[in-house]
Structure 1
Amino acid sequence: MSEKVSKDVKVHMKETQTIMELSQIIQSYDSEIILKKVVQGSVHEANLKSFLGLINLRLQEGDEIEVTCIGPDAAQALKEVETFLQP
């Protein structure tokens, strides 16, 4: 059974962290992990497992994003993303 969880998260990454590192960390999860960011009134969405999508999202320190995880390990995946983005 698939589970769906969402949470608004403020991005706080250390200078040594990159979003690509997070993408590699979450590859082991079965859930789909979607990041949404509003830019000048438009919603931009990217699958965290897609490098191209992440590059286009252009996450920056202080961004407010919505993280949505859908799948059998959604809660664990959300916790992993939140822990990485808010060290």
Structure 2
Amino acid sequence: MSEKVSKDVKVHMKETQTIMELSQIIQSYDSEIILKKVVQGSVHEANLKSFLGLINLRLQEGDEIEVTCIGPDATQALEEVETFLQP
């Protein structure tokens, strides 16, 4: 049975962190992890497991994003993403 959880998160990453590191960390989760960001009224969405999608999302310090996780380990995946983005 798949679980779906969502949370709004503000991006705060250390200078040494990259979104690609986060993408590698969450590869072990079975859940799909979607990041959604609104830019000038347009919604941009990317799968966190997709490097190309992340590059196109262009996350920056202070961005407000919605993180949605869907799958058997969705809650744990969401916690991992939140912990990484809010050190």
- What TM-score bracket applies, with the shorter chain setting the length? over 0.9
Deviations 1:7-63 (A, max 9, x none): 000000000000000000000000000000000000000000000000000000000
Shift of 1:2: 0.1
Structure 2 spans left out of the alignment, 5+ residues? none
Q: Count how many residue pairs are aligned between Structure 1 and Structure 2.
A: 87
RMSD over equivalenced CA pairs, Å:
0.1
2:20 pairs with 1:20: yes
TM-score relative to the length of structure 2: 1.00
TM-score relative to the length of structure 1: 1.00
Residue 60 of structure 2 aligns to a residue in which SS?
Answer: coil
Structure 1 spans left out of the alignment, 5+ residues? none
Shift of 1:80: 0.0
Percent of aligned pairs sharing the same letter: 98
